[in-house]
Structure 1
Amino acid sequence: MKRSVAPLLLALAAAPLANLAAPVQAQQTQAGLEQVNAYIRGVTTMTADFTQTDRNGQTLTGKLIIKQPGKVRFQYQKGVPLLIVGDGKALTMIDYEVRQVQRWPIGSSPLGALLDPKKDLSRFGKLIQTGDPKVLSVQARDPKRPEFGTITMIFQRDASGPAGLQLYGWVALDSQNNRTTVRLSNQRYGVAVADSAFRWNDPRPKGRAAGG
């Protein structure tokens, strides 16, 4: 990874996202958004290591698995009783320590911009100036549903990646104004991923719900 991207991601995590969209030329903006669209549509499967930092500065690591459309798994490091799984329709967060399950539509999450190849970023995305021609940053927010949150995705130009890009990470701001920064490494594309990777064990007492 090029070290120039890390300070940018940290700056995005610290800054108010609403103030990041500096004016850029329309042609440059359109080209950048189209390239990111092509990247998202070009990813069939992806695995990566991730480092996640929340607004309190707590950092967790783990393994990310994506299978389009809409399937995702955040498998946290050993000893962390959390799991986040997307089955193509909804995101589910399972806390095995307190036996709690939360579920919401993928489209209601900032991650919806990354996990829905049918979405057109030119309709709800903004290109952000990074000061580095090798780094592309796009902020996505549904103007009709601002309560769904905002995601700012950071890409490096890389000829070996889908559409010539490599996803480096993102900064997400959810409907409760909780900010989460995610950095990726060891990205691999087109690897075999079984649908069983997006199932989970329900920790709740029997009779309340079935997890799969």
Structure 2
Amino acid sequence: MTNLPKYIAILGISFAATMTAPQSIEAQQNNATLGEISTHLKSVGTMSASFTQTDRRGQSLSGTLLLKRPGKIRFEYQKGVPLLIVADGSSLNMIDYEVNQVQRWPIKNSPLSALLDPNQDLSKYGKLQPTSNPNVVSVQVKDPKRPEFGMITMIFLRKAGAPGGLTLDSWVALDSQNNRTTIRLKNVKFNTAISDSSFRWTDPRPKKRR
């Protein structure tokens, strides 16, 4: 996502409009729910889970997920899948050990920044999505000025005892090429000790000779 300081002027305009035009009841409820999600995200220092990843063709892979905020996440796939995705605090890396290649993106250019950045301002980037179940909260996060960064729709379940009363159930990521990926979580655990070494990885590319 784009750095927030660039939006200071917009924040000022929005604040003035709010002061002169009272919000509707629906808008106030939406802000309250976005506030709940922000509280949850800021209460989560670490998270671990098992995951199932499904692409737009219906193909599925499973694995384990580790998250440590700010900026760190690791997707380790099932045995036999020579792929690893790791955000190490500054960049998001996709390591393909089958062909010894590494692709890298700045974290802020990925929709995953909504999960990894504790300072993400959901009131500016998030939009609640309607659900038929009051215990299910869905929020779509994207930067309207940077559509090339894609978007992510996160699904939360209300759960007593979870940070902020919510637990992340799943998310759907859509990139700028309309490639859709769905991640569903199970066995979610919050705020357990996770070492920074979990987000290191071995570079498979041949070292250049001097």
User: For the superposition of Structure 1 and Structure 2, which TM-score range results when normalised by the shorter chain?
Assistant: 0.7 to 0.9
- Tell me the distance in 2 between the aligned counterparts of 1:60 and 1:118: 31
Report the residue type matching 1:181 in the other structure. Answer: T
Q: Calculate the TM-score normalised by the size of structure 1.
A: 0.85
The answer to whether the aligner puts 1:101 opposite 2:96 as a matched pair is no
How much has 1:69 moved relative to structure 2? 0.3
Report the 3-state secondary structure (helix = DSSP H, G, I; strand = E; otherwise coil) of the residue aligned with 2:194. Answer: coil
- Tell me the distance in 2 between the aligned counterparts of 1:175 and 1:103: 16
- Tell me the distance in 2 between the aligned counterparts of 1:39 and 1:70: 16
4+ residue stretches of structure 1 with deviation over 2 A? Answer: none
User: 2:189 maps to what in 1?
Assistant: 188
- Tell me the distance in 1 between the aligned counterparts of 2:150 and 2:53: 17
How much has 1:111 moved relative to structure 2? 0.6
How much has 1:150 moved relative to structure 2? 0.7
User: 2:41 maps to what in 1?
Assistant: 40
Q: Any gaps of 5 or more consecutive residues in structure 1?
A: 1-23
The answer to whether the aligner puts 1:132 opposite 2:133 as a matched pair is yes
How much has 1:87 moved relative to structure 2? 0.8
Q: How many residues align?
A: 185
Report the 3-state secondary structure (helix = DSSP H, G, I; strand = E; otherwise coil) of the residue aligned with 1:57. Answer: coil
User: 2:4 maps to what in 1?
Assistant: none
Q: Any gaps of 5 or more consecutive residues in structure 2?
A: 1-24
How much has 1:114 moved relative to structure 2? 1.0
Q: Calculate the TM-score normalised by the size of structure 2.
A: 0.86
User: 1:20 maps to what in 2?
Assistant: none
Question: What RMSD in Å do the two structures reach over aligned CA positions?
Answer: 1.1
- Tell me the distance in 2 between the aligned counterparts of 1:113 and 1:145: 14
Report the residue type matching 2:164 in the other structure. Answer: A
**Pairing 1:197-212 to 2, within 5 Å after superposition:** 197-207=198-208
**Pairing 1:56-205 to 2, within 5 Å after superposition:** 56-205=57-206
How much has 1:28 moved relative to structure 2? 1.4
